[in-house]
Chains A and B, each alone.
Chain A
Amino acid sequence: MSTGLNDNEIISQVLNGNQQAYAVLVNRHQNYVFTLSLRMVKSREDAEEVAQDVFIKAYKYLADFRGSSKFTTWLYTIVNNTCISFLRKKKLEIHSLDNEKVFELADNHDSGMRANLVEQKSRIGMVNNAISLLNPADAEVVTLFYQAEQSLEEMAQILGIEVNAAKVRLHRARARLKEKMETHFKEEVRNLN
């Protein structure tokens, strides 16, 4: 199949009628899209639904992708919009980075899951758990920058904000993540040093 091709070449194939080639794009990017969705919506079932919706929307509007930016940047814009719509529907308050209420809401989110999370001692597990305690907006920027490897300029495009604003969001998100790790995973952090 078209596995050796780059994203833009696969997109050309799909646009020329080879629908099956789209499976390569889905396979290639599903983990990124799912991780980003999961970190925003905080539940695996919802994240799976959102991630599927993202790929369906991306397929439907594939002709609008002009290739002037990376396919992933365009795709993550859809993830961002779909997650925001989903969270709005779920009536969750999101986005205001200064809104402590949101922060607490995420903090108190799914205490049952938290109990399990605290038990996980691994280094990776600890960071993943700390990220899951962040509010959706903070978790999104951290994931975009570190896991999805988007530059500040690309992040600004995805989030529809200025580059400097993206930079500030990232700084704040990292500061909060550090605080979360120090507060909730004190022992693990100590063991790392």
Chain B
Amino acid sequence: MDTQQNNEERLWNYIDGSVSAEEKKVIEQLLESDAAWKIKYKELLEVNELIKSTDLEVPSLRFTKNVMEEISKLHIAPATKSYINNKIIWGIGFFFIALFVGFLIYGLGQMDWTSGTESNITKNINKIDFSKFFNNTLVNVFMMINVVLGLFLLDNYLSNKRKSFRKEA
């Protein structure tokens, strides 16, 4: 059944012209040598021609008039690009990155680098006293808000990207 479906898909691709030159050659050989393939091809080709032959439906005679009457009350909205300032978005992003880097530098500055003799960084990480910079509730809340805002910004950026892609379509 799967092979049959697969063969049918290959034939549809061949009919649509969406096969590689190599695949086209293989299918043409199969059509010449295999009667079952030939029958299936004829059958699908007929379906293809039938679907192609269908007519378009026509709306009512007043259709254009109705649309024009409706749009006469409207104004074209300004392009999305014209009121979304990319500089602001980049500015917000830069602010969060700067904040993150600042915290990182501050945290690293608090570390006592001379206390350990081992050179292995992974072992030294265990010695970092995180309570030194996360012992203040206000700092924790501030960090949490930043993380949430950062995620929100990322989500906003990705959804804008998706929207612009679909709009372009």
Contacts and interface: CB of A to CB of B under 8 A. Distances in A.
Interface string B144-167: 000000000000000000000011
Interface of B: 8-9, 12-13, 16, 18, 46-47, 50-60, 63-64, 66-68, 70-72, 74, 76-82, 166-169
Main secondary structure of the interface of B (DSSP, over half): helix
Interface residues of A, number: 57
B20 to A, nearest CB: 14
Contacts of B13: 167
Interface string A110-152: 0000000000000110111001000000000010001100001
A56 B55 contact: no
B169 A157 contact: yes
Interface in A43-92: 47-48, 51-52, 55-56, 59-66, 68-69, 73-74, 77
A178 interface: yes
A68 B164 CA distance: 11
Given A56-B71, A60-B74, A171-B9, 12 more contacts: A19-B72, A20-B68, A22-B71, A26-B64, A30-B63, A31-B59, A62-B76, A74-B169, A152-B18, A157-B169, A167-B13, A181-B47
A94 interface: no
B168 A147 contact: no
Chain A interface helix/strand/loop/mixed: helix
